[in-house]
Amino acid sequence: MSVAFGAGALIRAAFARARHERRAALLPFLVAGDPDPLQSRERMLAASAGGADVIEVGFGYSDPVADGPIIAAASQRALAAGMTFERTLALVREVKSHLARTPLVAFVYYNLLFAYGVEQAAHACAAAGFSGILSPDVPLEEADDLIAACARLGLAVPLLVAPTTTPHRAAAIARAATGFVYLVSRMGVTGHHRAADEDACERVRGLRQHTETPIVIGFGVAPGPRLARLAACADGIVVGSLLIERAAQAPNPPAAIEAIRTTCATLASYCGPAMDSKAVTCLRRVDPAPSSGGSPTHGGTEASQAESG
C-alpha cells in the first residue's frame, strides 16, 4: 500500500473543525484487537459514529507502564486473540477503508517500535493509514529518531506532559510535539475512577505560552461537570478506560458496540460548544518537529513520571 504523505494533516483538520464549531475534540482510545479483530473494527467504527474526531489505537503490549488495569486487561485480551504489530497494521488498513477522513493515531510503546525498527515502523504505520505515532514511554531526549522518521512521512508525533514535568521541560516538550500535546491530568495510570486534577486547566494555560499545537487532556476523564470544565480549556479530551470498561461489561458483542457509540455521543455532548475564545488555541499549522537537542532532562519518561504517584 502506498504511503499517504501528509497524513498528519488530518489531525490538524480535525482540531480545526472542532475549533470552528467552538468545542473540544473527542479522542477515544481503543486497543486494536480487543476482544478480537472483528469486534475491534466494529468498535472503532462505532466510536466514529458516536462523534470521535481522532481515534487513538493502542497496540497490544505485555508491559503497558502508563495503563491502568482496564486498558492493561484489554491489551492482554488483544494479545490472547493473536494480535501482533503486523496484524494491528492490517486491522487499521481495514478500518481506514471505512474512515478515510478520521485520523487514527498509533499509541505504541517504544520497545515495539525499536524491535520493528523505528524507520520501518513509521513507514509501516503511514502505509496502514495512521496519521501519527504516540509513544508514551519514550523520553524527549531519545525521541529524535522517531520524530525525524515521522517528519519525513508527514506523520504527527504527539508527546506527553506529566504532572511532575518541570515547567522548563514541559515547554520543550510542547515545542517538539506535533499533532497535539497530550497533557496527563493527574498522577497514576490511566483510569476513569480517579478524577483529573483540578489544576489541569491551569497547566494547559501554561503550555499555551509555548506552542500553538492543540493541547488535549487525558487520564481520569468521565462524563460530568468536570469534563465540561476540562473541555472548556483544552483543545481535546482523551477517553479510554471508560469506553473499554463499558464495552467489556456489555452482555454481547452488539451491545458492546452500541455502548461504544452511545458513550462517545455522551462524551461529545460535554465537549461543547461552550469554549471560551481565550482558551482556544490558534491552529495555523502542523510544523515539522524541531530538534529536541539541548533540552533539559528530568529523569524518566513522562509516562513513568505519571505512573509513579
State pLDDT tens for residues 22-52.
Answer: 999 999 999 999 999 999 999 999 999 999 9
Quote the mean pLDDT of the chain.
85
Residue, of 304 and 98, whose pLDDT is higher:
98
- Confidence class for position 302, pLDDT limits 50, 70, 90: low
Pairing of strands 55-58, 132-134: unpaired
Residues 36, 42, 63, 67: which is the catalytic one?
Answer: 67
Write out the CATH class of domain 9-307: alpha beta
Q: What pLDDT sits at residue 187?
A: 53
Number of other CB atoms surrounding residue 200 within 10 Å: 24
State pLDDT tens for residues 102-147.
Answer: 999 999 999 999 999 999 999 999 999 999 999 999 999 999 999 9
Residues 56, 137, 235, 245: which is the catalytic one?
Answer: 56
Q: Does the active-site annotation cover 198?
A: no
Q: Does the active-site annotation cover 56?
A: yes
- Confidence class for position 266, pLDDT limits 50, 70, 90: very high
Q: How is 237-254 classified by DSSP, letter by letter? A: EEE-HHHHHHHHHSSSHH
C-alpha cell at position 137: 514511554
Average pLDDT over residues 213-223: 90
Q: 210: buried, middle or exposed (CB in 10 Å: 19+, 13-18, 0-12)?
A: middle
- Closest to 294 measured CA to CA, from 176, 203, 180, 155: 176
Q: What pLDDT sits at residue 131?
A: 98
Distance CA 304, CA 309 (A): 9
Q: Where are the beta strands (DSSP E) in the chain?
A: 25-31, 55-58, 104-107, 132-134, 159-161, 181-184, 215-218, 236-239
